[in-house]
Amino acid sequence: MRGIMAVFKKEILTAFSSPIFYAASFIFLVVSGYFFYTNAIIYTIRSFQAGQNPFLAERLNLSDFVVKPYFGDMAIVLLLMLPLLTMRSYAEEKKMGTIELLFTYPLSDGAALAGKFGACVFTLLTMLAGTLLPLLLLQTFAPLDWGLIASGYLGILLLGASFIALGIFTSSLTENQIIAAVLSFGAFLLFWIIGWAKSFAGPTLGPILEHISIVVHLDSFVKGLIDSRDLVFYLLFIFFWLFVTLRFLNTRFWRG
């Protein structure tokens, strides 16, 4: 445990002293805030229209028009930003030649990996904390469903942690951070859109592809439902890519 915390602290200090973190966080918050603003403006326009349309007034609520789209938009921005946070995990260690030093420390590869993964998740939590401000501001004007919001943030956190696990794996494949970021984005995008092939993949393969699609499992969280199947999917996805990363790192013993 002490070894994990040592790597965790090192990665946090490195991340928070890097301009990449602040640039990625700034872009994430600005773009997410823009999406929130546009959703709120659309809701305001619909509210004026609802004054003359009782049927529209019955269907109008903040959760459906502002909060739920906000989480969907946030997920899209994370798809673009998280490769910037994970690209240096192992790629930088390889480029600087410090990975061999890391391997000589009195801690296991699993502990080092856990520390790096935990640091990336903590960084993600720091970024997500800033997205609460628009919701708190909105709460001053109208009551919000905070159960729905908590469920949505849990889904976003699991989605982000899944991306991070996959991104750390791609970072372990190369010593070039740019290549690691491109590989991460390509892998993220593949698992995002793979479910789109359901309509023409056939009755057997189609549901499998849809289930593998990482964004499909976010829907229930955004709707305020915590489905154990979606929860298990994300946890297995995270564990699988961390396990593959650990196995890949262990190949150094037989590669020489």
How much is the pLDDT for 253?
Answer: 45
How much is the pLDDT for 254?
Answer: 45
How much is the pLDDT for 166?
Answer: 94
How much is the pLDDT for 256?
Answer: 46
Q: What is the mean pLDDT of each run of 10 residues along the chain (256 residues)?
A: 78 87 91 92 79 66 87 92 86 67 65 88 94 92 90 95 94 88 91 78 76 89 91 95 88 52
Provide the token pair at 93: 């260690």
Alpha-carbon torsion angle 160, 165, 166, 168, nearest 10: 120
How much is the pLDDT for 55?
Answer: 64
Global pTM reads 0.89
Provide the token pair at 121: 């998740």
